[in-house]
Amino acid sequence: MHNLLRFVKLNQSLLLFLILESFSIFLFLSNNKYQNSRFILSINEYASIVYSYSDAITNYIHLKEKNKFLSEENAKLLSLIERQDNKTSGSINSNNNFIYKSTKIINNSINKRNNYLTLNKGVAQGVRNGMGVITQKGVVGIVQSSSKNYSIVISLLHSKTSIGIKLKKNNHFGILKWDGYNYKEATINNFPSHIDVSIDDTIVTSSYSMIFPENINIGTVKKINDTEGYYNIQIDLFEDFNQLNYAYIVESKSINEKKLLEKSFRNE
């Protein structure tokens, strides 16, 4: 209270001026309808601007929650579509049942020879080693290890990552690897030169993989080099690994059955 009184005493002239000025403006606006309406209009205009900025800030604060919700809903939708396709499809791939789990990428590298990602889901959320990780744009990597609530993923941008792929237009198979330089590109080496392949052809995952569903987009053909009966093909990746945020962990329900069957056959 003492400080307040001291402040009033020191600034009494200024405070008196402000009070008189405010009272004068009030009288002026009260007795002039036109000026009063213009004043109210101006106030409303500035208030609208303030509300717009306030709403934008609020939306930004809640954007993470909205993105998480949408990602989880998309994962549920993908699983439902997969089950529906399995019921209606008569193809061999109809036995490959996949479940999708939404996850957030909380760490990522792109400028090393061997790159990794960290996910915010682990064993407690049903994540196991060997599960695939994808986005709506393409393949991201494969889960290498998991703790209770986190997982480490070997990125597609890794020297030891090999992805079974095919040309979408004619189903011819190949192996895609990262060349170790540009995070936007990958390569398919030793692709038979008698196969029809052209610039801008789409590359997708193949049915040979039990880690990833078939026909997940990966990229397009950018450059074709002919080397003694084989093509070395440069691929433009659909996914920008420098902007990864949310992804989907892919669980194959039949991968163990396939592995056991193939193992028993090899042992005969």
What pTM was estimated for this model as a whole? 0.66
Phi, psi dihedral angles at 229 (to 5 degrees): 90, -5
Please state, in angstroms and rounded to a whole number, the distance separating the CA atoms of residues 240 and 115: 14
pLDDT of residue 90: 40
Question: Which position has the token pair 């004043």?
Answer: 39
* Residue of 38 and 231 predicted with greater confidence: 231
Written as six digits, the tokens of 78 are: 């993908």
pLDDT of residue 88: 45
Residue 53 has pLDDT above 90, yes or no: no
Q: What is the pLDDT of residues 107-125, one digit of tens each?
A: 999 999 999 999 999 999 9
Question: Which position has the token pair 């209270």?
Answer: 1
Q: Comparing 88-92, 181-185, 203-207, 237-241, which segment has the lowest mean pLDDT?
A: 88-92
pLDDT of residue 86: 47
* Residue of 141 and 32 predicted with greater confidence: 141
* Residue of 240 and 6 predicted with greater confidence: 240
Please state, in angstroms and rounded to a whole number, the distance separating the CA atoms of residues 121 and 118: 9
Written as six digits, the tokens of 17 are: 């001026």
Q: Which domains does the chain have, with CATH numbers?
A: 63-87+95-253 (2.40.10.340)
pLDDT of residue 95: 39
Q: What is the pLDDT of residues 71-106, one digit of tens each?
A: 555 655 555 555 445 444 443 344 347 888 889 999
pLDDT of residue 228: 81
User: Which amino acid, one-letter code, is at 39?
Assistant: F
User: Which amino acid, one-letter code, is at 252?
Assistant: S
